[in-house]
Amino acid sequence: MIFHNSDLKQLWDEGYDLQVIAGTVLLVKNVPYLNAQKELKRGVLISPISLNGDKTVKPETHVAYFIGEYPCDVQGGHLRMVVQKERKELVAGLTYDCTMSAKDSYPNHYEKVIRYLKLICGPAEQIYPKVTAKTFEFVEPEVEDIVFQYVDTNASRAMINPITDRLSGQKVAIVGLGGTGSYILDFLAKCPVREIHLFDGDNFLQHNAFRAPGAAQKGIFFEHLKKTDYYNRIYSNMHKHIRSHPYDLNASNVEKLSEMTFVFLAIDPSENKSVILKHLDERNISFIHCGISLTEIDQKIKGQVKTTTRVTDGANDYSRWISNVKQDNIYEQNIQIAELNALNATFAIIKWKKLFGVYHDLDHEMYSSYTIFTNETINEDFQG
């Protein structure tokens, strides 16, 4: 990134010791400054990088951060631009000590960094004229193992990288790429999980388009693609590690789930479903099961959207919530209600994120059911 953006490369060419973290944070190392005792110290200046694609744009914030003691003036007084002394994690593994504010409309990242360096280094340079932040200690920047095709600037803008990073490293499976499963993928592809595995043996047909995220091109139906291949083609534009398994899971291949750290189930009742549930229990793999139950009364639709969770460190008596018997359920007739599929997927993803500490979870429910016509959600646990 440094060598492909003129403002960052200018800093590098002038001899500053730079490092880019998570693709969105610029570190300027070996920055000389004075502490309160007027001793010469070296710290790290941190500035968020604003991007459009892989190219830097005008900084969206004038705020910067610093690792070290309070930067001080020649009298040992705190620099006014240090607005808050706090120890806080900015991205995973990177904790800063104070927040700084030098308000200005910076045209690029070079101008912003130089302004902060002058303010921080100026007092040190007065007492120690030969000191400089231009170390010319060139070290080739490490290439980070980023799972996305492009940097997640959404998380970095909100400064929530340490929270979203709690999802990293997982190998997640989605079993069933119908309406709900496809929306789960849509949400999951935007998360920093290590791998996303798709299991479904059906083709992507015209009726599927009406309960799938996005808008399928007309010509796609003539390619006779498997659902997993179709969605892999689309979402690999964002996530690097999506794996297509264009077949249904059954007793002969269910072992494929053994390498997963988490599984989303979005499939109809069947013998294969029983096999999958049994396998997940035996291998002690956590999963979330999605279900929609609908009936038609007086030419109107009513029903429930259900989410059942099974975790490895808890009870697993979920049998009263997960039915594996075909019922008189108009949803199983492929009724096209995309908003309920998206809602089912949303409930599932929110619960999954709760399990891994992204969202607070006060109730710790293992089952929830949203009833459409009363607009109510009920929660239960395994003892409920």
pLDDT per residue over 118-159, tens digit each? 999 999 999 999 999 998 865 544 445 678 887 676 665 556
* N residues, the chain: 384
What is the rounded distance in angstroms from the CA atom of residue 196 to the CA atom of residue 163? 20
Q: What is the pLDDT of residue 176?
A: 96
Q: Where are the domains of the chain?
A: 2-146, 169-380
Classify each residue of 40-49 as buried b or exposed e, where b means 16 or more C-beta atoms within 10 Å of its C-beta.
eebbbbbbbb
pLDDT per residue over 183-242, tens digit each? 999 999 999 999 999 999 999 999 899 999 999 999 999 999 999 999 999 999 999 999
**What percentage of the chain has pLDDT greater than the value 70?**
90
- The two structure tokens encoding residue 81: 């631009």
Residue for token pair 């997982």: 170
Q: What is the pLDDT of residue 320?
A: 73
Which residues make Cβ contacts (< 8 Å) with residue 227, sequence separation at least 6? 177, 178, 182, 198, 200, 202, 203, 204, 208, 246
Q: Decide if pLDDT at 331 tops 80.
A: no
pLDDT per residue over 147-192, tens digit each? 888 767 666 555 666 788 889 999 999 999 999 999 999 999 999 9
- The two structure tokens encoding residue 262: 């988490």
Residues 287/279, Cβ–Cβ less than 8 Å: no
Crossing angle between the packed helical segments 227-235 and 179-188, to the nearest 10 degrees: 20
CATH 3.40.50.720 fits 169-380, yes or no: yes
Min mean pLDDT across 25-34, 294-303, 318-327 is at 318-327
